[in-house]
């Protein structure tokens, strides 16, 4: 099991919300974004693309939180670059919030 943990600042006594995104069985771009949007509890109207995910992370999502990405390292070959892109977007979002707590855990 690989666990990568990114932590920004202290939790400041707030209760952390957690989100779980499980990519088991994902075979298409559409499924990838459906699972991601559902796991992050974004609204149905969220776009299924990296820019929309960034917008939701930086303008919609509540913080502090922990995001668990399950089996992102086991995506089909044609979705690996999409998974890597989303991980970079999540890392960038964690840097965007310099006064909040944000954790990303990749579990595979």
Q: How does pLDDT run across 4-25, given as a tens digit for each residue?
A: 444 433 334 557 789 999 999 9
pTM, rounded to two decimals: 0.83
Give whole-number Cα distances, 76 to 31, 32, 47, 69, 98, in Å. 12, 11, 22, 15, 34
* Stronger pLDDT, 9 or 107, i.e. the higher one: 107
Query: Domain residue spans in the chain?
Result: 5-107
Q: Specify the CATH class of 5-107 in words.
A: alpha beta
> In the chain, how long is the greatest CA-to-CA distance?
41
Q: What is the pLDDT of residues 58-103, one digit of tens each?
A: 888 887 888 999 999 999 999 999 999 999 999 888 887 765 667 8
Task: Check residue 12 and give its pLDDT.
Answer: 46
Which of 26 and 15 is assigned the larger pLDDT?
26
User: Tell me: the pLDDT tens digits for 33-52?
Assistant: 999 999 999 999 999 999 99
Return d(Cα 59, Cα 38) in angstroms, integer.
17
Confidence (pLDDT) at 1: 36
């Amino acid at each position: 099991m690989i666990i990568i943990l990114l932590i920004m600042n202290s939790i400041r006594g707030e209760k952390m919300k957690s989100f779980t995104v499980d990519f088991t069985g994902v075979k298409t771009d559409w499924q990838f974004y459906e699972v991601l949007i559902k796991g992050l509890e974004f609204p149905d109207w969220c776009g299924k693309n990296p820019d929309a995910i960034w917008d939701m992370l930086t303008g919609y999502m509540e913080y502090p939180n922990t995001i668990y990405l399950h089996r992102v390292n086991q995506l089909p070959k044609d979705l690996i670059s999409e998974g890597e892109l989303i991980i970079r977007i999540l890392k960038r979002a964690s840097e965007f919030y310099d006064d909040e707590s944000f954790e990303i855990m990749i579990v595979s």
